[in-house]
C-alpha cells in the first residue's frame, strides 16, 4: 500500500508530538537503570554527552538531511541504517519503524544504539560525538544527578 505524502507528513507530526524533552539527570537515571554504563567501553556519561549534543535531549526530534536521510529521536538513529520510514532504502538493522524512536519510551532507542555501538565499536560515526564528547572527560554530565561517580575523579568542570 502506497501512502500519500500528506498522510506520511501527518504520521510524522503525530509521532513527533509524543516526544519528550528530558532533563539531563532524568536521562542519566534512565540510562543508569538500563545498565548501559561500560557497555562496549562506552560510559554512562558518554551516552549522556552524546544525547545532549545530537538532540538536546529531545526524543521527538527529527533532523532531515537534504536528499539523503533523516535522523530520529534522542540518539539520532537514521532511516539509512537503523530503522525504516518508507522514504528510502534502509538497512533497518534494529528492525523497527523510525517513528518508534520519537516517543518518551527510550527502551527501543537504547537497544538500537547498543547494537550500533557493538557493531561500530563506539559512537565515532556521529560528528557530534567526535566534536563534543570523544576527546573529553564526560563525567561532568552526570554531576549532581545522584549517581555514583568513580573515585578520584574531579568534577570541577563547568556544568553542561
**pLDDT in the model for residue 76:** 97
> In which band, very low, low, confident or very high, does the pLDDT at 156 lie, cut at 50, 70 and 90?
very low
Q: Which of 9-13, 51-55, 84-88 has the highest mean pLDDT?
A: 51-55
**Does the pLDDT value for residue 35 go beyond 80?**
yes
**pLDDT in the model for residue 153:** 47
Domains parsed from the chain with CATH numbers:
5-142 (1.10.530.10)
pTM score over 0.95: no
Nearest in space to 57 (alpha carbons), one of 95, 96, 30: 30
In this predicted model, what pLDDT tens digit does every residue of 62-97 receive, in sequence order? Answer: 999 988 899 999 999 999 999 999 888 899 999 999
**Could you tell me the three cell numbers for 82?**
537503523
**pLDDT in the model for residue 150:** 61
The CA angle 148-153-157, to the nearest 5 degrees, is 100
**Could you tell me the three cell numbers for 128?**
557530534
**Could you tell me the three cell numbers for 130?**
567526535
- In the β-sheet with 77-78, what is the strand arrangement from edge to edge? 62-65, 69-72, 77-78
Do residues 136 and 129 make contact, with C-beta atoms less than 8 angstroms apart? Answer: no
Task: Please tell me the distance from the alpha carbon of residue 121 to that of residue 104, in angstroms, as a whole number.
Answer: 26
Do residues 138 and 49 make contact, with C-beta atoms less than 8 angstroms apart? Answer: yes
Task: Please tell me the distance from the alpha carbon of residue 119 to that of residue 158, in angstroms, as a whole number.
Answer: 33
**pLDDT in the model for residue 143:** 94
Amino acid at each position: 500500500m502506497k501512502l500519500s505524502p500528506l498522510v506520511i507528513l501527518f504520521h510524522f507530526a503525530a509521532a513527533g508530538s509524543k516526544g519528550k524533552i528530558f532533563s539531563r539527570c532524568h536521562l542519566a537515571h534512565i540510562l543508569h537503570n538500563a545498565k548501559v554504563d561500560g557497555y562496549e567501553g562506552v560510559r554512562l556519561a558518554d551516552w549522556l554527552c552524546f544525547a545532549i549534543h545530537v538532540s538536546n535531549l529531545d526524543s521527538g526530534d527529527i533532523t532531515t538531511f537534504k536528499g539523503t536521510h533523516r535522523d530520529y529521536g534522542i540518539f539520532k538513529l537514521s532511516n539509512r541504517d537503523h530503522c525504516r520510514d518508507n522514504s528510502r532504502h534502509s538497512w533497518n538493522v534494529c528492525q523497527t519503524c523510525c517513528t518508534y524512536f520519537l516517543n518518551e519510551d527510550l527502551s527501543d532507542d537504547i537497544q538500537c544504539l547498543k547494537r550500533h555501538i557493538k557493531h561500530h565499536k563506539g559512537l565515532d560515526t556521529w560528528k557530534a560525538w567526535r566534536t563534543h564528547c570523544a576527546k573529553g572527560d564526560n563525567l561532568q554530565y552526570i554531576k549532581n544527578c545522584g549517581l555514583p561517580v568513580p573515585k578520584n575523579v574531579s568534577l570541577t568542570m563547568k556544568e553542561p
